[in-house]
Amino acid sequence: MFNIFKKNTMDEIIVKSPITGKIIKIDEVPDKVFSGKLVGDGIAILPQDNYVYAPVNGEIVQIAPQKYAIGFRTKENIEILIHLGIDTVKLKGEGFEVYASKNQRIKSGDKLIKVDWDFVSENAKSIISPIVITNMEIIKELKIIPNEYVKAGDDLFSIILKN
């Protein structure tokens, strides 16, 4: 007999929005590396606030020397990349103020980076910022939370890992 009260055995991991702004589908990002999901799958945000926050509890595993990207790893070994704008490597760190460091333990909601989006929009291809899971091979299901707009800290997507 089917037990409707049986606990779901698949643990769902929630990734919070690191940025306040308008949701953009990953296949609409103006960069083929992201729109083609060559780096991973996820979502993008058109920012409407200057701060970037940690989307998960975990560890910072990379910060680009030019400050435009930051990577995380959760205790479940999910790897997340936040790429701030498109073609922002050429800004050589200008417009980005980083408050975190590589190997730092972080909690969801920790303030990590301040971005001067006006400067970035004037000097880079786009301010659209992808948030992607870079090790999709361990992911069973990635569910985008259906929103048109998110505030930093809102649920962005949920993940179920492969067994």
Which active-site residues does the annotation give? Answer: 83
Can you read off the two tokens belonging to residue 127?
A: 């301010």
**DSSP state letter for 68:** S
The residues facing 16 across adjacent strands are 155
Check residue 80 and give left, alpha or beta (phi > 0: left; psi -120 to 50: alpha): beta
Write the DSSP symbol of residue 32.
H
Q: How far apart are CA 140 and CA 160, in angstroms?
A: 5
State the sign of the Cα–Cα–Cα–Cα dihedral 26, 115, 82, 18.
Answer: negative
- C-beta separation of 124 from 90 below 8 A: yes
- Burial level of 157, CB count in 10 A (0-12/13-18/19+)? buried
